[in-house]
Amino acid sequence: MSIIEQNWEDIKESIRDEYEIMKVAYKIWLEPLQYYKEEGKKVYVRVPKKELLEYVQKNYKKFFDETLSTLMQEKYKVEFVVDEDMDQEVAETVSSSFESNLIQKYRFDNFVVGSNNSLAHSAALHVAENPGKDFNPLFIYGGSGLGKTHLMTAIGHYIMENSKLRVLYVTSEEFTNEVINSIRNGNTAAMAELRDKYRNIDVLLVDDIQFIIGKVQTQEEFFHTFNTLQNNNKAVIITSDKHPSHMKDLEERFRTRFLSGLLVDIQPPVYETRMAILKKFAETNKKFLPDQIIDYIASNIKSNVRELEGAFNKVYAEGMLKNNNNINDISLDQAKEILKDSISKDKPTIISPQYILEMVADYYHIDTDDITSKKRNADIVLPRQVFMYLCREMTDVTLAHVATILDKKDHSTIIHGCNKIDEEIKINNQLKESIEAIKNRIYSQ
């Protein structure tokens, strides 16, 4: 046993005393660090969890280097490594995602299906089963952080695991860079190579297509790639932040092509789906928070799943710190305090029926009083039903409460109104888009 290994616990404690490290910090970051091995003047130290690595490196490496050098009277350095099984996990991710470029963790089995994404999900499953046959291209659109990349990647994994087809994922920015680089290389060989690469695959996933707008040469390349693939019945799956009809400055030839496939949207998830997503997230990442806290997060962060998960992580990390690593001790007040900035930023969380009323009236150019009145003309009845529907979709108020706002005796009228819209948007694209536009306005306030 080396001197360092023998004195490992003392070394950590002397670092604690010498640099006046707080007890909580010591418990969380330093105590779990284990001596691993030495190679010359390098000491390898084991970090039990990947999550701790960056923090430990940034904050404590210097202390270890100094303390060890003093002890050994020679210049020593530490190197932090994560536990072996962790290492392996990382290595696996890298090797199997190498060719296709797919992010490993986005799969169908951890994608939560809710009313906000069920159509997109079924379409994705269908394309995964029948790539290039129907729905080509599949065009998935929706706001940021709502699961487009996740769903698209899941299709890619599924196809790779169930066929020999060659799948390639690329963001439109990466594609742009590749085009620029081959142009810069200035030879036709570079460009030919690029074309070869993209035109000889079976499934192309292009993420965030909106970024190619206005990039003339990239658009040109993409257009030909797209046509070649489509003509050969190779699957193309595209994501975008908007419906092609709402993408400003998108060239007409693209619009026509995109509209020829299947277009599906992803909306912000409702409360139940947000809860389910957080629970799944907790399970996948083996991080657990008390139900009451999850409920608080799900009730307050509504418009973006990425932020929802971010809030979960933040509460978890800071909650651990504040409670001496016993996350079950975290109180609701602590969670509120930890999230106060994130939640006030996510303003649209406090979507009130009153606010929806105003936005609907504004959209249809009528008065809010018209909506709450007893008028029965068609140009009022529809906005009124849209209002009911959006209250159900976007707020947590009861339908009985919505009935009161509309001066109805009971909430059966509200249920009827919501059902009406549910049915109608299945067949009426224009209404569907109107509702989406109103939602977007509400969320972007």
- Our finding on whether 206 is near ligand ADP (CB under 6 A) is no
Contact 138, 123 (CB under 8 A): yes
What is the dihedral sign for C-alpha 68, 72, 75, 77? Answer: negative
In the block, tokens 């159900």 appear at 392
- Of 226 and 312, CB closest to ligand ADP: 312
With contacts defined by CB under 5 A, how many residues of the chain interact with Mg ion? 2
CB of 284 to Mg ion, least distance (A): 18
The DSSP output letter for 42 is: E
The residues, ordered by sequence, that sit 6+ positions from 311 with a Cβ below 8 Å of its Cβ are 297, 301, 339, 342, 343
Among 118, 144, 232, 326, binds ligand ADP (CB under 6 A): 144
**Distance between CA 167 and CA 197 in Å, rounded?**
11
CB of 424 to Mg ion, least distance (A): 30
- Our finding on whether 303 is near ligand ADP (CB under 6 A) is no
- Our finding on whether 257 is near ligand ADP (CB under 6 A) is no
DSSP per-residue letters across 398-439: -HHHHHHHTT-SSTHHHHHHHHHHHHHHHH-HHHHHHHHHHH
Q: Which does 305 bind (CB under 5 to 8 A by kind): ligand ADP, Mg ion, none?
A: ligand ADP
- The closest alpha carbon to 143, from 120, 110, 160, belongs to 120
Site for ligand ADP in 84-123 (CB under 6 A): 106, 110-112, 117
- Our finding on whether 309 is near ligand ADP (CB under 6 A) is yes
Q: Which does 16 bind (CB under 5 to 8 A by kind): Mg ion, ligand ADP, none?
A: none
Rounded (10°) angle between helices 353-363 and 378-394:
140
Among 277, 343, 357, 382, binds ligand ADP (CB under 6 A): 277
**In the structure encoding, which two tokens stand for residue 279, read together?**
């629970």
Among 12, 16, 148, 408, binds ligand ADP (CB under 6 A): 148
The DSSP output letter for 26 is: I
The DSSP output letter for 111 is: P
Among 67, 100, 149, 267, binds ligand ADP (CB under 6 A): 149
Site for Mg ion in 144-163 (CB under 5 A): 148-149
Contact 277, 305 (CB under 8 A): yes
- Our finding on whether 141 is near ligand ADP (CB under 6 A) is no
CB of 306 to ligand ADP, least distance (A): 4
Q: Which does 112 bind (CB under 5 to 8 A by kind): ligand ADP, Mg ion, none?
A: ligand ADP
**In the structure encoding, which two tokens stand for residue 348, read together?**
């649209």
Q: Which does 163 bind (CB under 5 to 8 A by kind): ligand ADP, Mg ion, none?
A: none
Instruction: Using CB under 5 A, list all residues that contact Mg ion.
Output: 148-149
Instruction: Using CB under 6 A, list all residues that contact ligand ADP.
Output: 106, 110-112, 117, 144-150, 277, 280, 305-306, 309
